[in-house]
Amino acid sequence: MPSKDVFDPTFRRLYYIRYADDWLLGISGPMQDAIKVKEQIKTFLVSELKLTLSEEKTLITHAKTEKARFLGYDIHVLHHDAKHDKRGQRSINGVIGFRVPDEKMKTKARQYKKNGKPTHRKERTVNSDFDIIAQYQSEFRGFAQYYLLAYNAHQLHGLKRTMELSLVCTLANKFKTTVNKIFKMYKTTRETDGQSYKVLQTEVKREGKKPLIAYFGGFKLGYKKDAVIVDALPTGKVFNIKSQLIDRLINDTCELCGSSGTIEMHHVKKLKDLENNGRKEKPEWMKRMMAMRRKTLAVCLECHTKIHSGKYDGKRFVSANVG
């Protein structure tokens, strides 16, 4: 039995969370309280900040029977009387749960399908197999990693399978061969955090250096309570503008200062984010990416660190073939 009166008419709680201009309020109380708080916020925004509250986006949702959308997650209160802990007590009733929205997974999977079935991406066949695998991995890992806080993250296996088949079809189309031969050619196992995973992998050997490796898969899909969302991924997106990702990595030269050594890929999601970032005087690295019309930049560790810390002010650039 509950230790407190769950029907106490005087019990109230208000929870608040905000990320940039997205915010969420959690109210333990009657619907009238939620309506009253919404009206107070609406009045404050108009009178104090001269802003208008969007009625379309600002919704009141019952957390037990409906789901609230926040930062791409569906959020609701869990209830399952048959779910017990080691002591035999109900363990999840009343707990806030994060869920990957079904339409998000379907929309992502639709990018790799045609007529409801996984298909090849013809525009990517001009790239090397290394670039193709690296791009598929980057796209899937970015999506999957973001949703590891969801209790249904295991359902991402369906998306993974769709993208894997699309990847194999793309390679098969590129090399004019069959899907089965592509699986035999690229399939292997990879150890991650003490677990073995089946992956599709390719290597590019370099004289006197460790080989460049691109693989698809290789990490656990499932709820992770302490998951950390990482914005910068190792490979980033791949774009074919004469100079491919693999060529730029093998070149081992910073595209900003010209130094040789450990080269990393700095990338942005959209070029328009650079063009509309609000800065009157844009840093030189930003101008470089805009001029090249490229979302990636091969840079040394020192330049990469300065870019992320906002301290890069270098003026020297090496020439690059960007067509």
Q: What is the pLDDT of residue 99?
A: 95
Cα separation, 139 vs 286, in Å, equals 23
Q: What is the pLDDT of residue 226?
A: 81
- pLDDT tens readout for residues 279-315: 667 777 787 777 767 778 888 888 888 888 877 766 4
Strand partners, 96: 77
Q: What is the pLDDT of residue 265?
A: 82
Q: What is the pLDDT of residue 318?
A: 42
Q: What is the pLDDT of residue 315?
A: 47
- pLDDT tens readout for residues 214-226: 999 999 999 888 8
Spans in the chain with pLDDT lower than 50: 232-243, 315-323
Q: Which tokens go with 262?
A: 């450990």
Please check whether residue 205 is in contact with residue 246, taking contact to mean a CB–CB distance below 8 angstroms: no
Please check whether residue 74 is in contact with residue 103, taking contact to mean a CB–CB distance below 8 angstroms: no
Q: Which tokens go with 99?
A: 């869920």
Cα separation, 249 vs 251, in Å, equals 5
DSSP summary character for residue 90: B
Q: What is the pLDDT of residue 6?
A: 63
Question: Residue holding tokens 């101008």?
Answer: 287
Please list the helix, strand and coil fractions of the chain in percent, rounded to the nearest 5, in that order: 35, 20, 45
Question: Residue holding tokens 């599709």?
Answer: 200
